[in-house]
Structure formats: C-alpha cells, structure tokens
Amino acid sequence: MFSFTVESQDSSTSARAGRIQTAHGEIRTPVFMPVGTLGSVKAVHQYELKEAVQAQIILGNTYHLYLRPGVGTLEKAGGLHRFNSWAYPILTDSGGYQIYSLSHKRKISEEGVLFSSHIDGSSHVFTPESVMDIQRQIGADIVMAFDECTPYPCDYAYAKSSMGLTHRWLARCCRRFDETEGLYGYGQTLFPIVQGSTFPDLRRESAEVVASFNRPGNAIGGLSVGEPAEDMYAMTELVCGILPKEKPRYLMGVGTPSNILESIALGIDMFDCVLPSRNARHGVLYTKRGIIHIKNLKWKEDFSPIDEESDCPSSCFYTRAYLRHLLHSKEILGAQIATLHNLSFFLWLTREARRQIQQGTFFEWKKHLLPELERRL
C-alpha cells in the first residue's frame, strides 16, 4: 500500500505539496524525516517525536539495526514498528552509506560488499538480495535499494563504473523485492537511488535508468558528501527534471535549513539528515531568526526562553542560560532539550514550506527567510 498525490504545484519554482499514503499512515510533503539510527531518535521519546516534534516518518539505519539488535530479534518482535513502539511510517536506508563511513574494512565486488563490524570487527556480507531480505525483516514502509555511495571528490572513471554497479544492483534489488512479500501483513515500497557523483552526464544517465524502473518513488544519493552547494543544487535540478513528477523524490542526507528550502524549490519532497540532532548535542540551535551557538558565553545569563517562536513546548519552557549550563555540564537533559528544539524547527520548516506552496507564496517566503536562517545570533 503506497500512493502519492501532488496537491499543489508552485507556479514560480518546481516546489510541490503532496501526500504519501503508507500502511502506517499519511505523510504530508515536503517532509523532513528525523534519523533514528538504532531504532531511536537519540534523546527523544517516541511520543515526543509525535507530539512535540510533529514528526510524520522516521528513518532507521539498516547497517546499525542489522548489527544491533539484529534482524532475528526484529523479526521475532514483528518488525521495527513493534520493536520500538513507533506506530507511524518508517523508512530504512540500505546500509551502504554506513558500510563506507563506519566499517573498518570493506571489499566491494560485483556480488556485494564484505565488511567488518565497527563494533566487534566481525565479518559480514551485504548483497542486493540480502539487503532486501533484511529490510523485509525490519519491515519499514519505504525501503531503499542497495547502492554504492561515491565519496567526494571522485574521479570520472570511478564514478561511472560505480554507477554501473549501482544500476546492476538495482535490478537485483527489484527482482528480489518483487519476488518477496512483507512479513508482517502490510506492504512495503522500494525506492531506487540515483548516483553519478557531480558529473552531469552520469547523473542524467542514472536518473533515466532509475526512472525506467518505474518504482513508486525515487531517491537521489551521493550528494551532501562534501561537494559545493552549487554542485548539489545543479545535480538535484538536473535529476528532478528527469525523475517523474507524479512520484515522490527523496534527497538523501540533506541538509541545512537553506539546503532544504532550495531543494524543495527544485522539486524534492523528502529529506533526512543527522544535522539537526547531532548539532543539537553540540549546542547549535536553529531558529527562524538564525543560528544560536548556545554554549557561547553570550548566553550565560540570558534567562529568556530558548525560542519563544518555536512550536516545541520545551523551547518555550526552559531558558537559554539553563540549556547552556546543561550542555556545558554534559547533562543528558541538555541533549534532550536541544534535540527536541532542532527537530521541531526542521519539521516546522518543511510544514511551513508546504503551507506556503499551497497558498502560492513559497518563492517570496523562501527569498525572505533564507538570509535569516544563515544569520548567526
């Protein structure tokens, strides 16, 4: 069970507002998806995610969940939704990105990837088929194809051959996915991933190949890995021009508030990023008026609320001085408050973008807001 409806199309940009239906409920787009690496969005309760953050869908990382708690446990639980008591939509990545960024050693072949666990060094193999099976066991509503995410910079020859491998793996992912069924009585949906680094001809080719698979939604990977923002936007624009309009587009691992607004304007519907939650734990807070480095001395005796304009109750309840003190003292509550704040802000940002698209004011609103978002308070 999966459907996507475009409800409004912005007249001056490629932004659109839509609705995705999944077995675990509806997702109104554009949407930001908080990252719940190990089945938990760090420092946030599931009911806070729903109520304070207003999250509609969260991510799980296949690599992490495969290692801990392990797919055997997840299958016995009846899938990740049952395991972590999050009854709403979940998306899982394919594990590829973590293999490349976390695993001690890895060996890529046509068959798949041999890698060693970052926890205990044990050896494991992921293939397109096994990753589909694992994501069946996890039971996310949206599952991602197994790809190779190229680093930046990346030479043309490597990017081209890697892209070819990603496409061959995609065919294997689709075959395996279509031969199998969800294990828990509800349907799942597979999204393929466009690669091609920052090379326009490769991105074009990859987008065409991916579109030809005709899956219910499509993703763009391999961006936000260190390339200049202009390259990211150029590749996103090019790919969005090829991926079908009637299907949701997911830009993986993006990004800053500005990145998100610019990419919405290019036609992106879905985002995920660890930025708001990770930066929260380091004291970087996002607001409508700019960025607060809350650990700075400047905030030591600021007894005003963290952000009175926030939708997040705790950002109106606690003071800046208190949050600064908690983060300096490494108190867990500091991570809790800051994470709630940033995730609420990212969810507000995509929710407000949706509203502006619907009322035809997205372009003006974005133009006005962008310089505010970058300001350092």
Q: Using CB under 8 A, which of the segments 88-96, 199-207, 288-296, 320-328 binds a copy of itself?
A: 320-328
Q: Using CB under 8 A, which of the segments 121-129, 185-193, 282-290, 318-326 binds a copy of itself?
A: 318-326
Q: Is residue 71 within 8 Å of 23, Cβ to Cβ?
A: no
Given candidates 23, 108, 229, 321, which one binds a copy of itself under the rule CB under 8 A?
A: 321
CA atoms of 319 and 304, how far apart (whole Å):
5
Given candidates 6, 19, 23, 77, which one binds a copy of itself under the rule CB under 8 A?
A: 77
- Residue whose CB is less far from a copy of itself, 289 or 300: 300
Residue 233 in tokens: 């936007």
CA atoms of 28 and 88, how far apart (whole Å):
13
Backbone angles phi, psi at 114, to 5 degrees: -95, 130
Given candidates 23, 54, 69, 180, which one binds a copy of itself under the rule CB under 8 A?
A: 69
Residues 6+ apart with CB under 8 A from 246: 4, 6
Scan residues 328-367 and list those touching a copy of itself (CB under 8 A).
328-329, 331-337
Residues 6+ apart with CB under 8 A from 358: 7, 8, 17
Task: State yes or no: residue 42 binds a copy of itself (CB under 8 A).
Answer: yes
Task: State yes or no: residue 46 binds a copy of itself (CB under 8 A).
Answer: yes
Residue 209 in tokens: 């190949």
Q: Is residue 188 within 8 Å of 143, Cβ to Cβ?
A: yes
Could you say which of 10, 141, 269, 272 is catalytic? 272
10 is catalytic: no
Q: Is residue 336 within 8 Å of 311, Cβ to Cβ?
A: no
User: Hunting for tokens 């960025």 — which residue is that?
Assistant: 291
Q: Is residue 126 within 8 Å of 176, Cβ to Cβ?
A: no
For the window 84-123, what string marks contact with a copy of itself as x by the rule CB under 8 A? xx--------------------------------------
Q: Count interface residues toward a copy of itself (CB under 8 A).
A: 41
93 is catalytic: yes
Residues labelled catalytic = 93, 272
Interface residue list for a copy of itself (CB under 8 A) = 38-47, 68-69, 73, 76-78, 82-85, 300-301, 303, 313-314, 317-319, 321-322, 325-326, 328-329, 331-337
